[in-house]
Structures are given as C-alpha cells and as structure tokens.
Amino acid sequence: MQKDAKIYIAGHNGMVGSAIWRILSDKGYTNLIGRSSKEFDLRNQQAVSEFLAQEKPDVIIDAAARVGGILANNDYPYQFLMENMLIQNNLIDGALKNDVDKFIFLGSSCIYPKFAPQPLKEEYLLTDTLEPTNEWYAIAKITGVKTCQAIRKQYGKDYVSLMPTNLYGTRDNFDLNTSHVLPAMIRKFHEAKENGNAPVTLWGSGTPMREFLFVDDMAEAVVFALENELPEYLYNIGTGVDLTIKELAETIQKVTGHTGEIIWDSEKPDGTPRKLMDVSKMHNLGWQHKIDLEKGIGLTYSWFLENIDSLKKITLTE
C-alpha cells in the first residue's frame, strides 16, 4: 500500500476510527479523508454516493456504526438494525460502483451464535441462533460480512471483514445509558470513589466470561489488513484470552482506586455466557495484540480523567 493512497475512514471521529486515523498517520500515511456526521449522513444513499464519486478513494475503512450495550440494543432494536444496514450498505455499494478495490469492514463478535462452541471460530457464523439482547445489531453486521463476501466472490475485489472482540480505550463512550460494560464500569467506580467509596451495583451475576481488546491493537489489525491481501473474507480480531465480568470489575476497581463494596444485581440479564475469539487465523498471518488488559484499562482511565468535563453521550458515530 502506497503511503499517499487515498484512504477514507468512515466514522473517523469515533473510538475505533480515530485510533485507526492516528496510527495510520504515525506510520506515514498522508492522504487520509474523513467526514463527520454533521457534514453528511452515512444513512443517506445519495449523499454517500455523491461523496464517493467526488473523492474517489483507493481504500474505504468502515468504522462507522450505531453502537451500544445491552440496554441500548433492547430499547432501540429497529434503529440498531436499520441504521447499521443503511450505513454499511451505502458504503459497500458505493465502493463497488466507484471501483474501490479495497474495503475493510469492521463488525463484532456478536455475529456468532449465542451457544457456539468456544473459542469462536470464523466458520461458526450462521450455524445457530443469536443472543436475543443484541441480535438486531448482529443481524446488521452479518449482512455486511456477507455483502463483502459476495463482492469478493463475484467481482474479485479485496473486501475483507474484521470481527473484533469487545473493544475499549481512549475516546470510548462513557454514557451509562448507552455504553458497553468496561467503560460503564470505569465511570461507576470513579464516581463511587469520588462519593466516599460508595457501593457499586453491577448488572448480572458476574459469571459470564468476556474478552477485551484495546482499541490501538484493533487499529493495528486494520493496518495489517490494509497492507496485506488477506486470503479469506472473515477474520476474528482479539486477544485469545478471557476473564469473568467479576474479575473485570475487580481489575477496574483496582485501577480506579475504589475501595467500596461491589453489589451484583442478579435480576438483570447476563447476556451470552461466554464469548472468546479464536484468533489463530490472524496469528498465523503475523498479527497479534500487544497491550494487556490492566495496562489498557489504565490508559483508558487516564484519558477519562483528562476528558471528564467534556464527555457526552454518543448515539451515532460522528
């Protein structure tokens, strides 16, 4: 990949997109383009079509999505299904029509069945039913994966899908109504510490197991896919290591310095019992993560403290 190749990063202001932008810049890529949601709406087919026809990027990286945790997925199923399909369909179809040779589509580990064998292999896609609490988002992302696969098969273009495990890091969403588990915990433990180390109540039993990847490692995986022609259409991106939600809470409690009680609200849903990614395909090609969980949480908490006054709810990638 030439350093002056024109690379459009959709969702460049979000947590993942901004990390990709920063790391590509650090590696010497000089022709990056991005547009915020205020400049044009990725859900608008005509706007996306006109933008791609005018800019004619060599590569598109789709890091744009409507995202959120269990609560948000439960409350807004239609928006999570329809808006994500609109965003990705407009970008993928626009890329094909404008002869974009390389497209990197970012999804989520929630595309895999709820009770799929662990660790999750790429071939488990569409082999059983999904987790009900986030099936709307999962179905949208599955259609993106299969659309890129169809283009790859029919037109021979280098369109590849990367499915990350649970991501976290700088520029994460810390809004308690829409955030994922790790940033929500950081905010809860921080606020409880500031409130005299008050007890922290967390959803579920604490027994489900999850895997977490720092966002800079995800960005490095995207760069790896950019600089190499990967032989298959779908790759898992993760650490290959998981822990219980209880262990996660205790790690965040340690990093934030909270010393109060943790209360588990077992009336609230746990979600999928385990989601561990099999990342052997990417490892075999030469990519693997570098930042361990406690270090990543520390970096994320530092960013949270530096930006605490300006944090706001993110309902759609910027």
Give the residue numbers marked as catalytic.
137
> Is 69 annotated as belonging to a binding site?
no
Q: Is 255 annotated as a binding residue?
A: no
Tell whether 96 is in a known binding site: no
Q: Is 289 annotated as a binding residue?
A: no
Residue 166 assigned to a binding site: yes
109 is in an annotated binding site: yes
Instruction: Tell me: is residue 16 an annotated ligand-binding position.
Output: yes
Kindly give, in sequence order, each residue whose CB lies less than 8 Å from that of residue 225, ignoring residues fewer than 6 positions away.
104, 160, 162, 235
Whether 12 has a binding-site annotation, put simply, is yes
Residue 108 counted as an annotated binding residue:
yes
167 is in an annotated binding site: yes
Cis peptide before 119 (omega within 30 of 0): yes
15 is in an annotated binding site: yes
Residues annotated within the binding site are 11-17, 106-109, 141, 164-167, 180, 188, 203, 210, 270
Residues within the annotated binding site for substrate?
188, 203, 210, 270
Which residue positions form the known binding site for NADP(+)? 11-17, 106-109, 141, 164-167, 180
